[in-house]
């Protein structure tokens, strides 16, 4: 393990447009909740929200960004300034962003205009993707190290910090800018309202008369560094990231486990990593949304972990619930507690709930804890807990960076589209036609699952579950603590679109709660955990073509550090009318390639732990020419993915002619690569472009995204 320190912080929220303003609001007990004015909504004035009224375009100094991207850039620049990072430091830094809404505010406006019969600029739909914010940040800030986007609902920002720490622990980066961002949208406001968990008086966390949450927007980023790197450049350590833990309830798509079992597991894992006992924790920043079920569950979990629950408070009554940004905002809050020896109040609490029987801090107090715990819980039963320590007061850990070990494939399964192209049928009201695609017939995957259990699920969820079902029929999971890692470029976009279309047609009068629950990117990972009762870490990576490589890299870290014995890795994306039309406008596809869809799943173990597993995988977030040494075949997604200075005799093949083009098509390419290794012959799912392969022992799969090139190495032992 390596010591990790926080050297920079930046945020923007309803309680303050920078860290200083935010801390003063905490000191003064001043809430930033107010009436909605950002957009016209049938619900305007019904619920207080955490809206930011600053001119964001002016503050960030950039044009053409989504609101989520503007928020992120403002927070990121403040963090970089406090850390005093040089351009050279930034160039080598990594960037991990947690996001839920992405450019959805733009998508809502575009769909409303389409339904009204107006012309729109189709390329603007590309802003919808959460990864666009991450890419824009990296480009504007000149960050050239590893990047990725996490989308695990309300834990996204906290998980981005944990994964940033993994990058430092493994030596993949010495400096990581990590956090989360989300803007207010009509979808989230109406979606949570449809679940009856939004309060019309504001949140009263843990109070007997609490009615629900207040939706919000915001962004927060911190600079994580290895302690060695920070010392060498003379940076001040504001706090240490002492430990982190993650788990999944595997219980319900949107509600928490009533006994808080997943929350307990995440807290205990974080304590173990921090080498701390429950008695060492001097303050807990609770997730505390103000909903009946969440607060009751969290209280039960706290009482199971702590014999005497330390001082705690939920601070969401100050700034609302900004979804992906909340865990990152509360991480900064935790460092402020350590810096200023001030524990903030739990605004809104008056009456004890007999079912909770705990009293949070009703006023801010002076105290000097050495460890602070920050809890984040979200849809899909996702739980992430971070523990921050006071610099100089936490144990010094051996400074060793260890590259994550290779993983072995115990089994794999895939759902491929038809090779013959067919005409995509657009919704009639869109009045488009003529797009040739490679589609997976419904019968090819829906028949694998009980019809009654999938009737309320979206197409991406069903296809992911079907791929996992094929996998588990080959090799069932033996460890219920197995981790689940999902790679998806667009998530359950069809459910998102249906929800937005319905809002636009009905003036928000008839919201669709099931589709809202399905719309979150991590709905796939949550459903996989529920169906197969897998309660380990549960992560969703959504960064276009980089999604699979990033998810596989994290699987290597988790399995290599014995945080799990097994991992379910899954890649899935399906066809979307809006993505197709945006791609058409941008001329993304070149003949003979067509848009496609599909899913791939693997049961992974640490290399060497399963003697029967003969093929290993190794993810590389940054391609290096030496990876081609002893390679027998290079798989590439088009000419752009081909590295320079290739050996003239190296055989080259592609998978996209059989899979079609989509964000995570590399999942199908990887299954074809491992099939080729198993049979020592080129899979029929691959198209040879150059050379003639001989014996196949080592295959390199290479992709690009913008100027970034990354790779997966598959080898036969």
Q: Would you state the structure tokens that stand for residue 393, as one six-digit string?
A: 């007061």
Show which residues are catalytic. 154, 287, 321
The pLDDT tens digits for 411-432 are 999 999 999 999 998 888 887 8
| pLDDT score at 163 | 98
Is residue 614 within 8 A of residue 411, CB to CB? The reply is no
The contacts of residue 20 (CB under 8 Å, 6+ apart) are: none
The predicted pLDDT at position 433 comes to 74
pLDDT of residue 531: 96
List the single range of 235-244, 392-401, 429-438 with lowest mean pLDDT: 392-401
pLDDT tens digit string along 563-605?
Answer: 999 999 999 999 989 888 888 877 777 778 999 999 999 999 9
Q: At what angle do helices 104-115 and 493-506 cross, to 10 degrees?
A: 50
Identify the residue with better confidence: 395 or 451.
Answer: 451
Check residue 286 and give its pLDDT. Answer: 98
Q: Categorize the per-residue pLDDT at 93 as very low, low, confident or very high, splitting at 50, 70 and 90.
A: very high
**DSSP 8-state code for residue 508:** T
Spatial CB neighbours of 156, under 8 Å, sequence gap ≥ 6: 98, 99, 100, 150, 180, 323, 324, 327, 378
Work out the percent of the chain whose per-residue pLDDT is above 90. 88
Q: Is 217 helix (H, G, I), strand (E, B) or coil?
A: coil
Q: What residue spans define the domains of the chain? A: 4-389, 407-608, 617-716
Report the pLDDT value the prediction gives residue 24, as an integer from 0 to 100: 98
Average pLDDT over residues 631-648: 87
400 confidence band (pLDDT: 50, 70, 90): low
CA nearest 309: which of 286, 331, 327, 341?
Answer: 286
Q: Do 27 and 235 touch, CB atoms closer than 8 A?
A: no
Distance separating alpha carbons of residues 146 and 459, to the nearest angstrom: 31
Determine the distance from the C-alpha atom of residue 394 to the mean position of all C-alpha atoms in its chain, rounded to a whole number. 29
**For position 395, what pLDDT does the model report?**
57
CATH of domain 407-608: 3.40.47.10
CA–CA gap between residue 558 and residue 554 (Å, rounded):
6
Mean pLDDT in residue range 316-332? 98
* pLDDT computed for residue 294 by the predictor: 97
Domains 4-389 and 407-608 share a fold: yes
Q: What is the pLDDT of residues 339-365, one digit of tens each?
A: 999 999 999 999 999 999 999 999 999
What is the pLDDT at residue 434? 76
Identify the three-state secondary structure at position 386: strand
Q: For the chain, give the mean pLDDT.
A: 94
Closest CA to 638 of 650, 619, 628, 652: 652
Exposure string over 490-506, b if 16+ CB within 10 A, otherwise e: bbbbbbbbbbbbbbbee
CATH superfamily of the domain spanning 4-389: Thiolase/Chalcone synthase (3.40.47.10)
* 672-692 tens-digit pLDDT: 999 999 999 999 999 999 999
pLDDT tens digits along 1-60: 789 999 999 999 999 999 999 999 999 999 999 999 999 888 888 899 999 999 999 999
């Amino acid at each position: 393990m390596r010591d990790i320190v926080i050297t920079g912080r930046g945020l923007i929220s309803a309680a303050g447009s920078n860290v200083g303003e935010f801390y003063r609001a905490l000191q003064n007990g001043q809430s930033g909740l107010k009436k909605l004015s950002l957009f016209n909504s049938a619900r305007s004035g019904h619920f207080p929200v955490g809206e930011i009224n600053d001119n964001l375009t002016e503050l960030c100094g950039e044009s053409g960004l989504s609101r989520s991207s503007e928020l992120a850039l403002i927070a990121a620049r403040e963090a970089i300034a406090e850390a005093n990072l040089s351009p050279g430091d930034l160039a080598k830094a990594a960037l991990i962003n947690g996001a839920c809404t992405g450019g959805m505010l733009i998508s809502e406006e575009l769909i409303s205009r389409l339904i009204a019969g107006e012309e729109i600029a189709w390329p603007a739909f590309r802003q919808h993707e959460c990864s666009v914010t991450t890419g824009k940040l990296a480009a504007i800030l000149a960050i050239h190290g590893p990047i990725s986007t996490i989308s695990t609902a309300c834990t996204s920002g906290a998980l981005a910090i944990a994964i940033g720490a993994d990058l430092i622990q493994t030596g993949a980066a010495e400096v990581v800018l990590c956090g989360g961002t989300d803007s207010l949208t009509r979808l989230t406001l109406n979606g949570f309202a449809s679940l009856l968990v939004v309060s019309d008086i504001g949140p009263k966390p843990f109070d007997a008369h609490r009615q629900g949450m207040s939706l919000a927007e915001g962004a927060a980023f911190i600079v994580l560094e290895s302690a060695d790197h920070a010392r060498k450049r003379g940076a001040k350590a504001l706090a240490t990231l002492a430990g982190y833990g993650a788990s999944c309830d595997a219980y319900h798509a949107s509600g928490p486990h009533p006994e808080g079992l997943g929350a307990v597991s995440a807290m205990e894992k974080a304590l173990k990593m921090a080498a701390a006992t429950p008695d060492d924790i001097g303050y807990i920043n609770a997730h505390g949304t103000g909903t009946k079920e969440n607060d009751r569950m969290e209280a039960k979990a706290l009482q199971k972990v702590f014999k005497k629950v330390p001082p705690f408070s939920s601070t969401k009554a100050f700034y609302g619930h900004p979804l992906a940004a909340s865990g990152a905002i509360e991480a900064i809050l935790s460092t402020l507690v350590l810096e200023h020896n001030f524990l903030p109040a739990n605004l809104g609490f008056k009456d004890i709930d007999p079912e909770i029987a705990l009293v949070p801090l009703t006023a801010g107090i002076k105290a000097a804890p050495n460890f602070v715990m920050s809890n984040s819980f979200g849809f899909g039963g996702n739980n992430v807990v971070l523990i921050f320590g006071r610099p100089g007061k936490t144990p010094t850990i051996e400074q060793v960076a260890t590259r994550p070990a290779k993983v072995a494939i115990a089994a794999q399964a895939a759902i491929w589209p038809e090779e013959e192209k067919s005409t995509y049928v657009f919704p009639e009201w869109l009045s488009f036609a003529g797009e040739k695609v490679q589609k997976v017939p419904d019968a090819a995957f829906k028949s694998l699952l009980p019809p009654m259990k999938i009737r309320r699920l979206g197409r991406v969820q069903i296809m992911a579950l079907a791929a996992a079902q094929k996998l588990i029929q080959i090799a069932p999971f033996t460890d219920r603590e197995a981790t689940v890692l999902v790679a998806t470029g667009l998530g359950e976009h069809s459910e998102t679109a249906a929800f937005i279309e319905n809002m636009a047609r009905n003036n928000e009068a008839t919201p669709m709660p099931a589709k809202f629950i399905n719309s979150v990117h991590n709905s796939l990972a949550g459903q996989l955990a529920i169906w197969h009762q897998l309660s380990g870490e549960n992560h969703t990576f959504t960064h276009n073509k980089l999604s699979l490589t990033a998810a596989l890299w994290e699987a290597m870290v988790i399995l290599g550090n014995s945080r799990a014995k097994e991992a379910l890795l899954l890649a899935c994306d399906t066809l979307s009318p809006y993505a197709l039309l945006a791609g058409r406008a941008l001329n993304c596809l070149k003949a003979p390639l067509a848009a496609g869809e599909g899913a791939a799943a693997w049961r992974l173990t640490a290399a060497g732990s399963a003697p029967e597993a003969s093929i290993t995988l190794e993810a590389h977030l940054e391609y290096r020419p030496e990876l081609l040494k002893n390679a027998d075949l290079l798989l590439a997604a088009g000419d752009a993915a081909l590295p320079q200075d290739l050996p003239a005799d190296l055989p080259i093949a592609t998978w996209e002619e059989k899979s079609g083009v989509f964000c995570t098509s590399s999942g199908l390419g990887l299954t074809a690569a491992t099939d080729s290794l198993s049979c020592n012959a080129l899979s029929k799912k691959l198209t040879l472009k150059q050379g003639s392969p001989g014996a196949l022992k080592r295959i390199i799969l290479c992709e690009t995204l913008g100027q970034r090139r990354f790779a997966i190495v598959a080898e036969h032992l």
